[in-house]
Structure 1
Amino acid sequence: MKQNRILVIHPSLNTGGAEKIIAYLVNTLAKGYSVQLMLLKDIEVTLPIDREVKVVIKECYSDIPILGKQLIVSLKALADMATCIENQVKLFEPVLVICFDLRVLLATCKALKGKENMIMFSERADPYENRKYWQYILKSIYKKVGMIVFQTEGAQKFYGNGIKNRSCIIPNPALTRGLGSKQEGCIHRENYIFAAGRMQYRKGFDLLISAFSEVSNSNPDTKMIIYGSGEEKEKLKRKISELSLDDKITLLPPIPNVIEKNRAARLFVLPSRSEGIPNILIEAMMARIPTVSSDCSPGGARLLTSNGEVGLLAENNNIMSLAEKMEYALSNSPQMEEMAVKAAESIKRFDPAIIAEEWRNVIEKQINKEQKK
């Protein structure tokens, strides 16, 4: 029997959270489908991919803001990306195309104009933080796309009943960077806090640095490491110097095994203003590292921590609340260790096998719906 063909498109497959889920998804779908992974940047693939998955690498992705000062240039770049995708669709002839990136979605809709029902889009960001015009554009696009996969109920609710019949909720699976689900603990802890992620405004590292400045007054021997790169890095460096924290906060480049390298940390902190379901928080919980996270929109951290029962939740975008939770965590190590053990048990509800079945069911329904037309 001929296998149905599925094309998954993304900019690259490096160290990001979405990339980890994409690797997991294509490896899952390789058992039962003919899967092709199209990457639009010629960057090294750092995640394990099943040998049954054919990886096609192009160089046609553009980071230029779509509705910015370089509008003509950005639209030309989007059109070039759409042509690249259209050519690959013609070669592979998939029954379903899956996207995780907004620019890729826009280019794919252009490439498959009139056949948008073939597209499945996984919404990773927080819709509440989008500008009004993007909210309008996305609502319009989502009414054409075959299926939208949200990570949280909060994100799905944002778009109202208009797309309810063509959307579903699938949370992220509990995976390590090696795409496994091994849980580990640590007995001896070192006196430092760590955080990791893209250094951009929505990740809230400026909040974390300010909160740590408050915490450092009563915990002068505690250090902090932040792993990441991005447009906010120089600004964060200046903030650290302004607060006289150069000897206490270290900024390091991103590493693929950040949780493994920091299993002995006293605390992991997620200070984001917005997130989908934060993969790195899942990994920290699996490793039984005590956690503090902001109650960021649209509710992923709250979902993972069971409303703050297995990981401390700080008020979103609130420096003092974040500082108070960090202070409590550092002053109550036994309670935090107990919470970390419960967190590792709680995260088992996101077992990769269960989540894989949810993806397969949604994909199969979508394929069957298209084939009946």
Structure 2
Amino acid sequence: MKITLLIGSLAGGGAERVVCNLANYLADIGHEITILTVSDKQTYKINDNVRHVVLYGESNSKLPHQIINIIRLYRMNRYFRKENVDIYLTFLPKLTSFILAQRRFIKCPIILAERADPGTFCAASEKNQKIFEKYYPHADGYIFQTEDAREYYRTHGINVENSVVIPNAINPEFIRPQYQGKPRNAIVGAGRLTEQKNFSLLINAFAEVSKTYPEYELEIYGEGPLKNDLINEAKVLGIAEKVKFQGYVKNLGDRIQDATLFVLSSNFEGMPNALIEAMALGMPVISTDCPAGGSKFLIKNKKNGLLVPTNDINAMVDAISYILKNSKKAKEMAQLAYNVGDELQFDKVYDKWNEFIFAVCKGEKN
């Protein structure tokens, strides 16, 4: 089949990584794969047998942004009308709304892949709510990361009879023997430095924990627009020397596998890759129980990790302190967390994508 995947770029977040991994897998099993991106920004690698079409590369452009967007719009419409495609997969809201708005011009099926919390998207603005209600019902199939996300669509009037829930696969680089040495005195978090990830919660909780456990440091991996604000927050709290902003690294598994604890402090997530990867390394983990239910799908509370309410500093302080105080229990939870590697194997997960794509392309109901 000729399959086109739509996404903004190949840089940065979890959706972009999933698109690259999925494209590589589908191409390797014989499909003709194109990734259509708005910009030329790229972090993740795609194989040589995957075609990458960029609507307009802004990296070296001196044109005004408004002109660039007009060019992109024209080229995208031309792609929809000229390219011979068997099925489209769309990721992230802006491109999803755009391709579904062009539905009458596109003869092949369109699958909408929901990668975050639809409730947060709709609550952000009245415009988003209208986009969701007007365009999202026109997809031919839906792929969700969690049952909660699918339920949101269902309860808001979208027919999701032809849908499937598929959690994220583990990045193969995180499949490795569990670290068996003595953990170093480090608490780690990873993700884009944005409001969604709420690293402010983690920093403030760490400031409290540090009063009892001064030997520990906090390492934050990732880049983003809030970096300077978070650095200043650590200074105000008097813990600047203990909070290490490590930036974006390609060998994250190597850098964090010997840490004492991984913490996800997000306000909302789809299926958090960073949490999956930390569990696959066999680390003790704490996560906010954030919508749309990815964390609670992965963590069975007090068995293979700890769940805390979103934006609850006291609960976060208590959870971190519990792990640092109870090393034996933390090790038991980490061992159970390590089993996620068997449950979310790369080939198993992406084969489910392939099966659903085939079914939608043939007009079959899941």
Shared fold (TM-score, shorter chain, > 0.5): yes
Change (3 A) 1:35 1:297: same
2:234 aligned to which of 232, 237, 240: 240
Aligned to 1:54: 51
Q: Is the 8 A contact 1:203 1:274 kept in 2?
A: yes
Give CA-to-partner distance per residue, 1:100-144, whole Å, 9 cap, x none.
121122232345444386221211111222325223321321211
Q: Partners in 2 of 1:361 and 1:328 — Cα distance?
A: 43
1:300 aligned to which of 294, 299, 306: 294
Show the 5 A alignment for 1:221-260. 221-260=215-254
Aligned to 2:33: 35
Whether 1:123 aligns to 2:114 is yes
Q: Partners in 2 of 1:61 and 1:112 — Cα distance?
A: 27
Change (3 A) 1:45 1:200: closer
Show the 5 A alignment for 1:276-295. 276-295=270-289
Aligned to 2:62: none
Q: Is the 8 A contact 2:166 2:349 kept in 1?
A: yes
Tell me whether 87-96 or 296-305 shows the greater mean CA deviation.
Answer: 87-96
Q: RMSD of the TM alignment (CA)?
A: 2.3
Secondary structure at 1:13 match in 2: coil
Q: Is the 8 A contact 1:15 1:256 kept in 2?
A: no
Secondary structure at 2:196 match in 1: helix
1:171 aligned to which of 146, 151, 167: 167
Q: Is the 8 A contact 1:117 1:144 kept in 2?
A: no
**Structure 2 residue ranges without an equivalent (≥5):** 60-64
Give CA-to-partner distance per residue, 1:143-185, whole Å, 9 cap, x none.
1112221100111111225322243211111224x4x744532
Change (3 A) 1:9 1:341: same
Show the 5 A alignment for 1:330-345. 330-345=324-339
**Structure 1 residue ranges without an equivalent (≥5):** 63-72
Q: Is the 8 A contact 1:194 1:269 kept in 2?
A: yes
How many residues matched?
Answer: 353
Aligned to 1:26: 23
Q: Is the 8 A contact 1:60 1:80 kept in 2?
A: no
TM-score, normalised via structure 2 length: 0.89
Change (3 A) 1:366 1:77: farther
- Percent identity (aligned): 29
Change (3 A) 1:183 1:127: farther
Whether 1:8 aligns to 2:5 is yes
Q: Partners in 2 of 1:22 and 1:9 — Cα distance?
A: 9
Letter in 2 for 1:174: I
Secondary structure at 1:203 match in 2: coil
Q: Is the 8 A contact 1:294 1:313 kept in 2?
A: yes
TM-score, normalised via structure 1 length: 0.87
